[in-house]
Structure 1
């Protein structure tokens, strides 16, 4: 989870056990109690999602110039939308993730995982070390979500790189030089989204871009949906699978539900108060940024996906893909051990092993 410094109230005094405590280092009111997090998520008018996808580290002038060069814009569409347009956009996207479509995608997920596990097992049998993140967890979620969204001719390695860079840009602590690198990557991704949107307007189809164009959305709205859907729809699942693998290396009996409850890849999420309000016995001013703890605080596993009108549309898909990955890699995971402490993706709202380098266990003589 995010490391929280000693908390303080609005007047700077330390507050122990406060249901909403202000963290001066993070710049957020931190809410870890699952019941209160649920209360916040179920009241999107008081606790608005306007800051859900804002850059945690303010963007530099140079980074903003790079983004503006491609017309980069993220108007309210899904995660950051509490307006009237949210419902029709969400309904259109939700159809791609219906229970029937998710169930129908399971054989594809299994095939993709089985083939990658087989390659990894052969490499391990030859005495090589294997990174379970890149070898197994990275690509299947992207290939599955692209299949569900009807998108073809996508450079998956590029999508994975764009996704990681954008997560760091919006939820990390990059300095100005790193921010500029990340902005160039985000601009490249956004230009690709613009091109797909333009193509959909010329020849509308039944894929994601065709459906969004048919709703009458602007180019900026279509790109905004595509930008975060193509990241959240696969990279967070890769990270959830990676965390599940890491946990299973220590405890082979680890379940998907345990991972979701204790260490989901999306441990926190943001909200901002629309007006002065009271949360439990804490008075919050208007415009107070809130950081909600979704996992690791004794709440139900399902809270990892949020609740209410902004609940993750891919919750069932992420569960299915993580379970399939664990099933396919079950034998592999009990025959290897970590070759090094895993470096971590450690952002404001995303946490997972960046690499899981494993080596074969030596059999006792």
Structure 2
């Protein structure tokens, strides 16, 4: 592979692309570097886990992130309307209200001498509440959605052993059963929410559930992780919030890598790759542009503007708090193939000198 910018990582089982220009080249050529493996389980699912998922009809046909077919554009177009520039801008007051109230509650606890986890206290719920509002979804148990999301990310992008995989499969099945129920309800009583729009598009139940499954995870959990990372960096790198958002995206995004697979034997940067070569693209931390963290081209993240807005607002609301606290531990990390962020950020108030 002389001259090829992709290096094969035996442990991961991927050709790793670290050069931002080459990653950009790959993302902008979906007919050559297909997204078919984008949401495949990094650790092959065990027979027991597959049985649990099969029992609820779990299926992930191509819809959004993993779709290189003709159905991608209409599905993406229908979902994109929920994230139009006007709708994203209009949701800022809600995001600010949600963050400000949580910062105020955390500040009160800190002043009383308590230890506070900034992830759970501030970063966790606002992104979920905001995206549910945008998608027109009501009566959603947010703590359950957060738990389902974290477990699904670990199931599909982690390295769980068989026992842990089975636990994760049960929660993924619970999530999928909930999606099935919402899809059935949308068919019986049409509405303008996410499920109603996907029903009106003529999608099958499996396609609706697949689109909603990862949209409801990516639309909020990755933003929670981006905010958590931005908070962590802000504790040692004080920057103005807009600058801090771009700094985090450039150097430590919550989605540091993404996957592609070669459709045929192809040339990449002067080197040859075989057909079916799985690629792992490094999106952040390699001196590339901040925008690369959201991908490029046909599969660019639909919620890029929303994630930027929510992270900026969270930093603005927490700016004063972040200058008056200290970490009480080295934060444990979510460290998956394509997702990385602090699991928690335990802090206490700084004592007057």
Superposed CA offset, 1:83-139 (max 9, x none):
000000000000000000001100000000000000000000001010000000000
For residue 93 of structure 1, the aligned residue among 55, 68, 79 is: 79
Q: Residue 345 of structure 1: CA displacement?
A: 0.1
In 1, the alpha carbon distance for the partners of 2:17 and 2:187 equals: 43
In 2, the alpha carbon distance for the partners of 1:228 and 1:154 equals: 16
In 2, the alpha carbon distance for the partners of 1:32 and 1:145 equals: 31
* Residue equivalent to 1:153: 139
Q: Residue 294 of structure 1: CA displacement?
A: 0.3
Aligned-partner SS, 1:115: helix
8 Å Cα contact 2:125/2:142 also seen in 1: yes
1:298 aligns with 2:284: no
- Structure 2: tracts of 5 or more residues without a match: none
In 2, the alpha carbon distance for the partners of 1:18 and 1:201 equals: 50
Correspondence 1:230-249 to 2 at 5 A: 230-249=216-235
For residue 67 of structure 1, the aligned residue among 40, 53, 59 is: 53
Superposed CA offset, 1:258-311 (max 9, x none):
000000000000000000001002210000000000000010000000000000
In 1, the alpha carbon distance for the partners of 2:211 and 2:166 equals: 23
8 Å Cα contact 2:4/2:268 also seen in 1: no
Aligned-partner SS, 1:59: coil
Q: Residue 251 of structure 1: CA displacement?
A: 1.2
User: How many residues are aligned here?
Assistant: 350
Correspondence 1:124-273 to 2 at 5 A: 124-253=110-239, 255-273=244-262
Aligned-partner SS, 1:154: coil
Aligned-partner SS, 1:51: coil
In 1, the alpha carbon distance for the partners of 2:4 and 2:252 equals: 23
8 Å Cα contact 2:4/2:272 also seen in 1: no
* Residue equivalent to 1:5: none
- Structure 1: tracts of 5 or more residues without a match: 1-8, 10-14
* Residue equivalent to 2:298: 309
Q: Residue 357 of structure 1: CA displacement?
A: 0.2
For residue 318 of structure 1, the aligned residue among 307, 326, 347 is: 307
For residue 340 of structure 1, the aligned residue among 329, 344, 348 is: 329
8 Å Cα contact 2:249/2:290 also seen in 1: yes
In 1, the alpha carbon distance for the partners of 2:149 and 2:253 equals: 18
For residue 347 of structure 2, the aligned residue among 341, 350, 358 is: 358
Aligned-partner SS, 1:329: helix
Q: Residue 18 of structure 1: CA displacement?
A: 5.1
Q: Residue 349 of structure 1: CA displacement?
A: 0.1
1:114 aligns with 2:100: yes
In 2, the alpha carbon distance for the partners of 1:240 and 1:31 equals: 22
In 2, the alpha carbon distance for the partners of 1:277 and 1:326 equals: 43
1:276 aligns with 2:262: no
8 Å Cα contact 2:92/2:309 also seen in 1: yes
* Residue equivalent to 2:28: 42
Aligned-partner SS, 1:271: strand
Instruction: Tell me the TM-score normalised to structure 2 length.
Output: 0.98
In 2, the alpha carbon distance for the partners of 1:103 and 1:345 equals: 30
Instruction: Tell me the TM-score normalised to structure 1 length.
Output: 0.95
* Residue equivalent to 1:4: none
1:26 aligns with 2:12: yes
